[in-house]
Amino acid sequence: MERVLGECMKAVILAAGKGTRFRPLTYAIPKPLLPVGGKPVIDYVLDNIEKCKEIKKVYVAVSHMRETIETYLKHAQRDGLEIETVQTLGWETGGDLRAVCVEKELNEPMLVAYGDNVTNIDIKKMIEFHRKKQSLATVALFKVPWNEVSRFGVAELDGGLVSRFVEKPKRENASSNLANAGYYLLEAGVLGMLPHKKMKMEETVFPKLAREGALAGFVYEPDYWLDIGTIDSYRAANKMIEGVLPPGGSAAKP
């Protein structure tokens, strides 16, 4: 199995949601460009990727207002990063990732990130962990309050490997509070597991890899992790980030 090596590793940002739950905001602004703490959500993802100098190319999967997103990204100043948008159908994480891989003929190890999460993560450390574990895939995990586990994909760990992965379990059935942070490292072999249809990797591929001992869990402690899945969580994210990020600065430890 090939490892995540080389100087030109690629990344895919899954940002194809139409943001219907954010209307009327998303009538004029695509969801990836909604501002949190004064800058678009997708910039937080790109900030994390930009710091990992092994990644040189980023594909952004979009399905709504592509031209607007493309125009913004063309003017974004990103050191050493080439960014390209790819039109997809909004077929969830698995379907959209497969669409990007087929269109761009990708069959190699890559980083995959959700485009609607606001967090800070050291991707370089995650890559080093992935290489050490020699797994087919690695998912970034962080601890959440037990009363919130039903909002996430949850992983049980055994020596750094995920022994069980359950997407949005009921609170009473959850045996772990290690939640999916929305950052993955995937070997080429995982890409062949994605069918040409609407599907979530978290519901099919990850549980299968966990059963086979081929999914690793990279646990990190973020200074912040915020999602903008609903208009209420978006408002909360904007209010919360003010206490985490100083004006014009980087994250402060809580």
State the fold for domain 9-241.
Spore Coat Polysaccharide Biosynthesis Protein SpsA; Chain A (3.90.550)
Question: So what's the pLDDT on residue 35?
Answer: 86
pLDDT digits (tens, 9 = 90+) for 174-214: 889 999 999 999 999 999 899 888 999 999 999 999 999 99
Question: So what's the pLDDT on residue 251?
Answer: 45
- Arithmetic mean of pLDDT, 140-154: 92
According to DSSP, the residues that pair with 178 across neighbouring strands are: 143, 155
* pLDDT(18) > 60: yes
Question: So what's the pLDDT on residue 28?
Answer: 66
Is the peptide bond preceding residue 24 cis, with omega within 30 degrees of 0? yes
The 3-state DSSP class for residue 12 equals: strand
CA geometry: angle at 151 spanning 149 and 92, to 5°?
Answer: 135
* pLDDT(236) > 80: no
Every domain of the chain and the residues it spans: 9-241
Number of C-alpha atoms within 13 angstroms, CB side, residue 229? Answer: 7
pLDDT digits (tens, 9 = 90+) for 26-78: 566 788 888 888 889 999 999 999 999 899 999 999 987 888 999 999 887 78
Give 215-244 as a DSSP string.
EEEEE---S-EEE-SSHHHHHHHHHHHTTT
Question: So what's the pLDDT on residue 247?
Answer: 46
Q: Is the pTM higher than 0.75?
A: yes
Question: So what's the pLDDT on residue 29?
Answer: 78
The strand ranges marked E within the chain are 9-14, 35-36, 39-40, 55-62, 82-87, 110-114, 117-119, 137-143, 153-158, 161-167, 178-186, 215-219, 225-227
- Arithmetic mean of pLDDT, 159-163: 95
